Structure 1
Amino acid sequence: MKHYISGIITKRSLGLFFAGFSLCFTQSIFAQEEKEKNISVQDSVALQQDLKGDKDADGKKNGSDRNVMLNASSNSGPRDVNIGLPGSVGGITIFENDLPVVYLFWPELPNKTWRQSVSLKSTGLLKMDELASTTGDLGFAVNSYTQTGTEEFQLKGKLSGSHFGWFQGDVNVSGPISENGWSFTAGAFVNFDPSTYDLGYNDYADQTKIFRAGLTKRFEDGKGEFNVSYKYADSYVTQNYAVFEYGPDGEAKETDNFRIGRDSYMVRDGRVRFKDVDGGDYYWGEFDGNANTNVSHNLDIFGNYKMDNGWNFKYSTRLHLAKASLLYSIPISILDANASDNYTIANTGEAYTGAVGTQLGMNSPEIPTTSIMGRFSINKKIDDHDLTFGILEQYYNVDDFVSNRSVFFQTVENQPQRLISPATDQYGFYGYNGGSEFHSGKENKLSVYGSDNWQVNDRLNLSYGLFLRHQHLDGEYSLTPRGADFTIQDAAIEPINKDWFHIAGKFNATYNLTNKFGLLANFQYTEENGRLESYSAAATPNTKTSKSPLGAFGVFYNSDWLSLVSQVTYLTKNNYLKRFNLVNPQDDTEQQQTTTYYDIETLGWTTDVVLTPFKGFSMHGLLTLQDPKYKDFNFSAFGNDYDFSDKTVLEISKVLVELDPSYTYKDWRVWASFRYFSEQYANINNALTFAPRWENFGGLSYKYNEHINIGVTLINFLNQTGAKGTINGAELIQDPEPYYGRLLTGSYIRPFTAQLSVNFNF
């Protein structure tokens, strides 16, 4: 859920998680030989098991995919890539045609308008320095390109399913329209995924439909092309949690009446009652309906034109219209109730004793958003310089964003039942709109950038770029406290009018000492202040500039059978905003909202290696050692002062290992991916942990002929169990022993899943 409700609302509860592959930065640069010259290389040659790299916004090669589409939490989107900092709620940034698929992940999550599909011509991982120098943002990004019209008829598709009943159909057809350069493309993607558990109120945890149609005009003499593409997306995605018994050393033990990953902790009837912040009417939000469905329309116009003076003009524009609805039920805590507490089951009136789960319901109903974006760039290679200059425009409007809130109780079992108590109303709810959210308005970002890749000589390569951005906010919010039954009609409205100037950039150098061995140094820098979303609570946010300098230094080596890079990286980021819904460690029934700001510092070492000892076999290995720490992190709650400075950052392992073997023989290919995560802290006080874990994937594919390929993918084939993320309601716990044997909730990796896919291309 939103990033500022940490602990109670886990980032990974949205099906997105840190699946690390590198410390903070590692782009895995290797030396290569070309005509006996010593040259430096800008891109990783690590294994690509699921995606194929392509060109980025300005024609440069993307970095390795790092199996980014192998997500141990869900089928709905790519995994997050670990950079030693807390991840975005929206997961890894996703681009299509060099523009973000959504301006902001909230309220429209990227996986509700974008999926990996045969209607995408290519997909790859955009490196951190390229993202910083072309968009001004920190992190990695998936960069994809829409399938355009083809000069010859082409039909391609993929049918996928799993032994849990998942079905995905994906097809694209393209071909010529006329002899004067016009062609077409059309595609359909449908996904019906029950996940690995039975919700009870709905057959599927993910129902997504995406339809595309486009036209392409290619100019004579290879001068370029013009494309117009329309996309319609309708996506319903829900979430789940695990109940487990917590034990020493971070053990998460299954209980007798709840299987991790196989049972549902969502209320059985799929209904939550709210009071509308904007209007005051009471209503029921239903998980199986429009209350949790996103509908969007997307129009892209993109292409390129090679000018007579040698410059390549590239453009990409987008109009994105959406109505986003979000409905979540987030575990807060689990209590024990006896007969004197007078709990009854809502549907039957039967008295209830035993474990009681406290849930926070959140609903943002049909929020209209509009995005208009455009990227325009020119690129030319002049002697030893590869020059790029560009403009990026991003406009965003959100009309009366609200997040309605309520709290309720439920039984602790598979498909829980809602409970009524003396603290609730007749429907089983209380605390309507306590901590609710509101903001409205528009944002605009206008940026200019330039970069140069300079091959100074046979040994030295320099790559550098500068990004300048002006950001304007114009909207409204409210400082009125969000007590029970809050509505906007009773609130004082305040204006938002902000202007910020940001600078970002990169400087990378590689130097070959020999034809196989060399040095590398990297530096990048980004800035940000805030967004309209920062104003959603009843407090004026601290919009002090958040700065993120990153530096790395290392060595690389390349031979016929070994490629290696090893580097040390240092990264800091200041002025993180957190809004906590805290639970009093002395009284589980008492909650408090707290806003705080803090910094993070992370230092680490990464070694990345690719072995190709004999024909057909390849092994990628990665080791990351990191130590991300909180800085200046303190606040007051429940009459006490807390200081979490120098505590290790939540959910981030200090040791990461990735092993990716692959072997190809004739028309057969077998592969695997193993990811190790060392112990992770599950609360900000570092008292509670989750035990180390392995995530594992494997697969076998067979090329039947030039048109058909059949593949089997196994997820968690070692059938690992356990929880991950944070422990809800335990932010302030200092002594873990009282938690041993207690029932807790958290997110988890999927149980063993077998998937079959058939790819065809004619």
Structure 2
Amino acid sequence: MKQYIDKNFKRRRLSLLFAGLSLCASSSLFAQEEENQNLKVQDSVALQQELKGDNEVDGKKNGSDRNVMLNASSNSGPRDVNIGLPGSVGGITILENDLPVVYLFWPELPNKTWRQSVSLQRTGLLKMDELASTMGDLGFAVNSYTQTGTEKFQVKGKLTGSHFGWFQGDLNVSGPISDNGWSYTAGAFVNFDPSTYDLGYNNYADQTKIFRAGITKRFKDGKGEFNISYKYADSYTTTNYAVIEYGPDGEANEIDDFRIGRDSYIIRDGRVRFKNIDGGDDYWASMDGTENTNTSHNIDIFGNYLMDNGWNFKYSTRLHLAKASLLNIIPLSILNANAEDGYTIASTGEAYTGSVGTQLGMNSPEIPTTSIMGRFSIHKKIENHDVSLGVLEQYYDIDNYISNRSLFYQTIENQPQRLISPGTDEYGFYGYNGGAEFHTGIENKLAVYASDDWQVSDRFKLNYGIFFRHHHIDGEYSLQQRGVDFTIQDAEKTPINKNWFNIAGKINASYNLTKKFGVLANFQYTEENGRLERYSAALDPNTTTSKSPLGAAGIFYNGDWVSLVSQVTYLTKNNYLKRFNLVNPQDNTQQEQTTTYYDIETLGWTTDVVLTPFKGFSFHGLVTLQDPKYKDFTFNAFGNTYDFSDKTVLEISKVLIELDPSYTYKDWKVWASFRYFSEQYANINNALTFAPRWENFGGVNYKFNDHLNFGLTLVNFLNQVGAKGTINGAELIEDPEPYYGRLLTSSYIRPFTAQLSVGFNF
């Protein structure tokens, strides 16, 4: 299921830690954690956002949104913030109008219904403690607010493109309907992104369309407003991988027939054959068709009303209807074929010898989901207290989630060709529905929460909150083993009926020892149990409460031209679930699936500084030292017992550095962002690594006048070439030497890309 998803969502691992969380996250492609969909948003925001912010949730300020959308892996979503825990496929939690844009990242990924857009009134980074105290979840979040109707006619838009042929158009129009407070808004977002490689079967790797319309009613005397907003989204995306020659010291070298980031490792016709476990029919799925497209309808009703007693009542409700189709092709391993092995090219029948890639195909066709959500809260400033009380309701229905599976072979080249061998059927496929998935049912989360910002004195500030949640799931799954003849109609089904009570909370304190210098301390706690998607496989999952205490302490200094925060953080989380699709290190033609549970413990130290030594110049710097470890991590596979306890978490750099200089002169701004990652582990055994690397961005912005501006952004302008993430199929490798000179597959950062944008506002 989720463990095989698109790495662009699974591991967009960039720099920074925030609020003292100098802790990186990671996750193997075949060892997908199913718990925290909200562990990652990358942001070069300084730790000072603990003391000052520019975004809100429930009327409260939270963190800055600096560089949130600078993503070295793709154009489709925010950066990832790493907090020392394995990341989930969903990446960052994304909120709109204080509610999640999707209830659960699987099978509907957030970027299939949400993109950064001029049809959003504002966007920012939600701090971890705010997410804990208002959602009961662990991690960071992007919080955004829909553009509402305006009292005056307004047109704003943005056109963006790249030298690879990317085009993105974004437009919003708003204005008054009548003189009694009614107004309207309408927007359109279209994205046609070929990425940096030619697919062969389609012109675009990301084709997304989002349309919005809304009506606003503003009450007299500033009492509040009422909004109703409709959104339609249609999106498909494709994920690419790189073939590399692995070398000593984590080298990832290009091979003659494959350029990293410029060539496609996706089968050239984009078609995969499956047997549907919902009915047993054989069918072909296409990467550029409906089998890989998500559509959704979204209705939001939101607003606020200032009551006579001074309390501000805020409300946000949502009906979200979606049909999610996913088609993913995941590399497993690379083997060598000789003439006697009998491989032939499927399209021509020509004999083939050489390197052969083993691929896993997964398809979830048109899975219907329904979400109904509501947040209702009241807020009031009472002397030196800023009090909030709220209720959060989330209902979710998924109707017969399935994931069909098949395996096939392909050539190693740009736009590979499918192969037929004695072990496949006439089309080149085998292993139909080994590990196929199924579940169906509903989830309901009802929570109440309260928080208070207390200015105890001129020097001492205390922020605390508590969150209580009842979580109910009701559905069906099957313990029957999955194979070629498995169908959900014939399978014996097991009912699911679970109820859990969870608690979360926060307490943050800061104390000024002098006017500019002080100390701070933070503690937060979250817990959760299982969700329906944990029941997808043919096993009874462990739903023991997963607890996540987080503590931090540090110092801060706010001077005339320097602001600094230095903080140490400790974090643990237990009962992570991993589902592996493992490759036997002794025989790479053998695959095996297994499930295990484990814990994480992580300690980090972050120092974050912002310098403004002279007019127009700003410099943000961040240094992070971290060492997250696996705990109680054991499982059996291929007749052996493996223990990965005390191994460093995958894809973790123990040293992270971020440098962000910028200079503004009149209507011009020149900026850059450099992110350093020290050596990263590329398999869970810590035997394979990727060498240290820099990711870099730069640009120039020019404001022509109040209505027109231009921007040039350069991605990877130092033209770094290399792989990152994990090495597919290499989880159990213990000795790296036999792999020197071998061909492997992995993710990568984008090659040099020049992007030009034009923004307008009238």
One fold, TM greater than 0.5?
Answer: yes
Matches within 5 A, 1:464-475: 464-475=464-475
Matched, 1:568 2:568: yes
The CA deviation at 1:653 is: 1.1
Matched, 1:22 2:17: yes
The CA deviation at 1:240 is: 0.4
Matches within 5 A, 1:184-199: 184-199=184-199
Q: Residue type of the partner of 2:612?
A: T
- In structure 2, relative to structure 1, the CA distance for the partners of 1:629 and 1:11 (3 Å cut) is farther
- Give the corresponding residue for 1:12: 7
Contact 2:55 2:63 in 1 (8 A): no
Query: SS of the residue aligned with 2:2?
Result: coil
For structure 1, list consecutive stretches of 5 or more residues without a partner in the other structure: 4-8, 29-42
Q: Residue type of the partner of 1:190?
A: V
Matched, 1:387 2:387: yes
- Give the corresponding residue for 1:457: 457
- In structure 2, relative to structure 1, the CA distance for the partners of 1:465 and 1:225 (3 Å cut) is same
Q: Residue type of the partner of 1:476?
A: E
The CA deviation at 1:84 is: 1.1
Contact 1:431 1:485 in 2 (8 A): no
CA offsets 1:235-281 (integer angstroms, 9 cap, x no match): 01111000010000111000000000000000011100000011000
Contact 1:47 1:64 in 2 (8 A): no
Tell me, in whole angstroms, the C-alpha distance in 1 between the residues paired with 2:527 and 2:53.
Answer: 28
The CA deviation at 1:62 is: 2.0
Tell me, in whole angstroms, the C-alpha distance in 1 between the residues paired with 2:86 and 2:20.
Answer: 14
Query: SS of the residue aligned with 1:258?
Result: coil
The TM-score with structure 1 as length reference comes to 0.96
The CA deviation at 1:80 is: 1.2
- Give the corresponding residue for 1:134: 134
Contact 2:215 2:227 in 1 (8 A): yes
- In structure 2, relative to structure 1, the CA distance for the partners of 1:46 and 1:599 (3 Å cut) is closer
Matched, 1:617 2:638: no
Tell me, in whole angstroms, the C-alpha distance in 1 between the residues paired with 2:357 and 2:611.
Answer: 50
Tell me, in whole angstroms, the C-alpha distance in 2 between the residues paired with 1:424 and 1:595.
Answer: 27
Tell me, in whole angstroms, the C-alpha distance in 2 between the residues paired with 1:47 and 1:493.
Answer: 50
Further displaced range: 77-86 or 413-422: 77-86
The CA deviation at 1:15 is: 6.7
- Give the corresponding residue for 2:26: none
- Give the corresponding residue for 1:633: 633
Matches within 5 A, 1:203-218: 203-218=203-218
Matches within 5 A, 1:430-579: 430-579=430-579
Contact 1:11 1:725 in 2 (8 A): no
Contact 2:46 2:622 in 1 (8 A): no
Q: Residue type of the partner of 1:218?
A: R
The CA deviation at 1:20 is: 2.6
Further displaced range: 627-636 or 478-487: 478-487
The CA deviation at 1:489 is: 2.6
Tell me, in whole angstroms, the C-alpha distance in 2 between the residues paired with 1:150 and 1:135.
Answer: 30
- Give the corresponding residue for 1:708: 708
Contact 1:77 1:115 in 2 (8 A): yes
Tell me, in whole angstroms, the C-alpha distance in 1 between the residues paired with 2:93 and 2:198.
Answer: 30
The CA deviation at 1:683 is: 0.6
Tell me, in whole angstroms, the C-alpha distance in 1 between the residues paired with 2:288 and 2:158.
Answer: 27
- In structure 2, relative to structure 1, the CA distance for the partners of 1:84 and 1:555 (3 Å cut) is same
- Give the corresponding residue for 1:406: 406
- Give the corresponding residue for 2:37: none
Matched, 1:328 2:323: no
Query: SS of the residue aligned with 2:489?
Result: helix
Contact 2:45 2:65 in 1 (8 A): no
The CA deviation at 1:58 is: 1.5
Contact 2:568 2:604 in 1 (8 A): yes
- Give the corresponding residue for 2:91: 91
Contact 1:231 1:297 in 2 (8 A): yes
Contact 2:480 2:538 in 1 (8 A): yes
Query: SS of the residue aligned with 1:422?
Result: coil
Tell me, in whole angstroms, the C-alpha distance in 2 between the residues paired with 1:326 and 1:559.
Answer: 51
Q: Residue type of the partner of 1:22?
A: L
Q: Residue type of the partner of 1:400?
A: N
The CA deviation at 1:150 is: 0.3
Query: SS of the residue aligned with 2:485?
Result: coil
Contact 1:297 1:322 in 2 (8 A): yes
Matches within 5 A, 1:347-366: 347-366=347-366
Contact 2:183 2:217 in 1 (8 A): yes
Contact 1:24 1:84 in 2 (8 A): no
The CA deviation at 1:12 is: 2.4
Tell me, in whole angstroms, the C-alpha distance in 1 between the residues paired with 2:539 and 2:742.
Answer: 35
- Give the corresponding residue for 1:166: 166
The CA deviation at 1:432 is: 0.5
Contact 2:406 2:431 in 1 (8 A): yes
Matches within 5 A, 1:718-733: 718-733=718-733
Contact 1:53 1:122 in 2 (8 A): no
Contact 2:10 2:88 in 1 (8 A): no
Contact 1:434 1:486 in 2 (8 A): no
Contact 1:84 1:628 in 2 (8 A): yes
Tell me, in whole angstroms, the C-alpha distance in 1 between the residues paired with 2:564 and 2:53.
Answer: 20
Q: Residue type of the partner of 1:504?
A: A
Tell me, in whole angstroms, the C-alpha distance in 2 between the residues paired with 1:366 and 1:693.
Answer: 40
- Deviating beyond 2 angstroms after TM superposition, the runs of 4 or more aligned structure 1 residues are 9-16, 23-28, 43-48, 52-57, 483-486
Matched, 1:674 2:669: no
Contact 2:550 2:570 in 1 (8 A): yes
Query: SS of the residue aligned with 1:351?
Result: coil
Q: Residue type of the partner of 1:99?
A: L
- In structure 2, relative to structure 1, the CA distance for the partners of 1:272 and 1:27 (3 Å cut) is closer
Contact 1:18 1:87 in 2 (8 A): no
The CA deviation at 1:68 is: 1.4
The CA deviation at 1:490 is: 3.1
The CA deviation at 1:483 is: 2.7
Q: Residue type of the partner of 1:294?
A: N
Contact 2:10 2:90 in 1 (8 A): no
Tell me, in whole angstroms, the C-alpha distance in 2 between the residues paired with 1:24 and 1:435.
Answer: 40
Tell me, in whole angstroms, the C-alpha distance in 2 between the residues paired with 1:366 and 1:140.
Answer: 30
The TM-score with structure 2 as length reference comes to 0.96
- Give the corresponding residue for 1:151: 151
Query: SS of the residue aligned with 2:134?
Result: helix
Q: Residue type of the partner of 2:17?
A: S
Q: Residue type of the partner of 1:708?
A: L
Contact 1:80 1:87 in 2 (8 A): no
Matches within 5 A, 1:104-123: 104-123=104-123
Contact 1:175 1:185 in 2 (8 A): yes
The CA deviation at 1:46 is: 4.0
Identity, in percent, stands at: 81
Tell me, in whole angstroms, the C-alpha distance in 2 between the residues paired with 1:501 and 1:666.
Answer: 56
Query: SS of the residue aligned with 1:415?
Result: coil
- In structure 2, relative to structure 1, the CA distance for the partners of 1:244 and 1:691 (3 Å cut) is same
Q: Residue type of the partner of 2:7?
A: R
- In structure 2, relative to structure 1, the CA distance for the partners of 1:414 and 1:44 (3 Å cut) is closer
Tell me, in whole angstroms, the C-alpha distance in 1 between the residues paired with 2:279 and 2:496.
Answer: 22
- In structure 2, relative to structure 1, the CA distance for the partners of 1:25 and 1:531 (3 Å cut) is farther
Query: SS of the residue aligned with 2:60?
Result: coil
The CA deviation at 1:23 is: 6.2
The CA deviation at 1:10 is: 6.8
Tell me, in whole angstroms, the C-alpha distance in 2 between the residues paired with 1:173 and 1:658.
Answer: 37
Tell me, in whole angstroms, the C-alpha distance in 2 between the residues paired with 1:24 and 1:481.
Answer: 45
Contact 2:11 2:87 in 1 (8 A): no
The CA deviation at 1:25 is: 4.5
Query: SS of the residue aligned with 2:61?
Result: coil
Tell me, in whole angstroms, the C-alpha distance in 2 between the residues paired with 1:613 and 1:694.
Answer: 26
The CA deviation at 1:26 is: 4.2
For structure 2, list consecutive stretches of 5 or more residues without a partner in the other structure: 24-42
The CA deviation at 1:88 is: 1.5
- In structure 2, relative to structure 1, the CA distance for the partners of 1:332 and 1:44 (3 Å cut) is closer
Query: SS of the residue aligned with 2:129?
Result: helix
- In structure 2, relative to structure 1, the CA distance for the partners of 1:24 and 1:121 (3 Å cut) is closer
- In structure 2, relative to structure 1, the CA distance for the partners of 1:461 and 1:96 (3 Å cut) is same
Query: SS of the residue aligned with 1:704?
Result: strand
Q: Please tell me the root mean square deviation across aligned C-alpha atoms, in Å.
A: 1.7
- In structure 2, relative to structure 1, the CA distance for the partners of 1:211 and 1:27 (3 Å cut) is farther
